[in-house]
Amino acid sequence: MELLALGRVEYEPTYAAMQAFTTERAPDTADQLWICEHPPVYTQGLAGKPEHIFNPANIPVVQTNRGGQVTYHGPGQVVAYPLLDLKRAGYFVKEYVYRIEEALIRTLLHFGVTGHRVAGAPGIYVRLDDPSGHAPLANRPRKDATGTQSLEPDFNGLGKIAALGIKVSRNCTYHGLALNVAMDLEPFRRINPCGYVALQTVDLSTIGVPVSWNDAADVLSHKLATYLAP
C-alpha cells in the first residue's frame, strides 16, 4: 500500500480525486492510503437527512455517495482514505470495516486510550469517565441468545472519537475514516453526528491526551497499513 501524505486539502477536490482514482484503476494498480486534514466542512452520506444539520452557518455542506449520515471534518482531525482492492486483499466489506475499526482501536491504545465498538453504530467510542479503562462495554457488539446481533445503540457515558463512512465500487474502496485529535469541537454541536441526537463528540485533547496531529497521523497510517494487509 502506497502512503500519500496530502497535508491540509479542500474536501471536494479530494473527493473527486478519490472517485477518479477508483474509476481509472486497473487490476494491477497499487492500493493507496491518503492521509490528510480538511478545512471545516460537513459531509452528508447517502442516508443523510437534512434535519440532522440544524445550524451549518458558514460551514459548507457537501453531498457525497458514502454510507452513513452527516459528519464534520476540520483542522485537528486526521482523515484517512484507504483506496483498496478488496478482491485482491481477499476479504469482504464487513471485515474491511472491522479492520478499520481495529486499526483505530490500536492507534488509541498506543496513546493510552481504550477505544470501544458500540453495537449498531459504526465508529469508535471512549468512556468519558475513564478513557483508559479496559472494562468491556455492556453494549458492545455481540450476539444474543437467538444468535442475532442487537442493533440498538446505547451511547450513555460515551463520546465518539472516530467516525467512518465508506464506499465500495467494483470491489474497490474509497472514502474512509476520521480520528479526532485536537479540534474545535463546537461544529459538532450544530449537527446530530452520524444521525444520532445529542451524541457527544470528543477528541484526544479533551480527554487529556496531548498528541500532535503528525504523531497521530503517523501511528494511524502504520496501523491501517498493518490491519488492512491481505
| Catalytic entry in 105, 185, 194, 204 | 194
172 is catalytic: no
DSSP state string for 187-213: GGGGB-GGG-TT--B--TTTTT----H
CA distances (Å), origin 159, targets 120, 124, 156: 15, 9, 9
Amino acid identity of residue 175, one-letter, is: H
Matching residue, cell 468491556: 136
For residue 86 the three cell numbers come to: 478488496
Matching residue, cell 473527486: 16
Q: Catalogue the active-site residues.
A: 194
